[in-house]
Amino acid sequence: MQIDLFNTSASISAAAQITGEGVHQAAVVAKGSLLVPIPVAGPDFGFYLTDSPRLFVEGHVNSMYFFGYGNFVSTTDGIGFTISKHLRLDAGISWDRDW
């Protein structure tokens, strides 16, 4: 399980109007933002491509369902090479998607 931070923002505006009683309503604009922590969970995997644990692939897929408002999916995948007992070289990609 991990926590992802989202910086969300929104704005709304309304044009000026006059109601049926002749009352003038001024134009208004509202803006806001919020830093939101979202808990996500999912499986991790690792697979060694050679008999000795020198060349490997690893990754995870985490997601969160927003109860009818949408879904969020995050994945990080990579390939690596073990150089020594305390040193390894990694390369990978990270992808986030919400819908």
Q: How far apart are CA 28 and CA 90, in angstroms?
A: 51
What is the pLDDT at residue 98?
73
Tally of structural domains, the chain: 1
Indicate whether 14 pLDDT > 80.
Answer: yes
Q: Are 61 and 45 in contact (CB under 8 A)?
A: no
Q: Which domain holds residue 77?
A: 2-98
H helices present in the chain, as ranges: none
Tens digits of residue pLDDT in 56-99: 999 999 888 888 878 888 888 999 998 888 998 999 998 888 76
Q: How far apart are CA 4 and CA 74, in angstroms?
A: 9
Tens digits of residue pLDDT in 19-67: 777 788 888 899 999 998 888 899 999 998 887 778 999 999 988 888 8
What is the pLDDT at residue 84?
86
